[in-house]
Amino acid sequence: MNKPRRPQTVEAAIAGALSEIDEDGIKDLTGKSRSTVNKWSDDECELNHIPFYQAVNLAAGLTAMGVQERFTEAFKAGVARKVCELGGSPAHSPLDPSDRVLTLVEAVGRACGEIRMAQDPDSPSGKKYSACEKAEIAGHLQELIDHALLCIKDLEAAV
């Protein structure tokens, strides 16, 4: 099982990109090896941050493949977290409520997929949930709550 990463982070977006793009694609998009890009997804090592232009390259590659990229979402969430750390209140950028509900449905799909993988008898812990699996599932469930709250804000802001 992969290392659990908080949803809506650059590290999670990189891990998602690695699950979608093969070795040659990674090399073509970044000029780097898969192992280097994988190191960028390690949030515990401050020396391994992805350069912004490389995140753009990976996001563009995923989009060109018709795959949902998560870098944009991670960037927005990261800015909101930093604003809160600085004592501010992040401004809400309303979406059309139907678009936001679509992001909620996508988040439900990610949570369901993680739960299914954890329940797979061939997973590292078998049918039991490991601590890593529980943390990953909890992160996805928190993402659902966050999206649901944004849906409410979008509806309130709708004219």
Q: How confident is the model over 21-43, as pLDDT tens digits?
A: 999 999 999 999 999 998 898 87
The model's pLDDT over 71-115, given as tens digits with 9 standing for 90+, comes to: 988 888 888 778 777 776 667 778 888 888 888 898 888 889 888
90 is written with which tokens? 């992040």
Asked if 100 and 42 count as a contact pair (C-beta separation under 8 A), the reply is no
CA separation, residue 157 to residues 84, 92, 107, 150 (Å): 21, 9, 22, 10
Q: How far apart (Å, rounded) are the C-alpha atoms in residues 55 and 52? A: 5
Cα 53-29-113 angle, rounded to 5 deg: 95
Q: Domain spans of the chain?
A: 10-85, 97-157
Place of tokens 């898969």: 34
pTM assigned to the model? 0.59
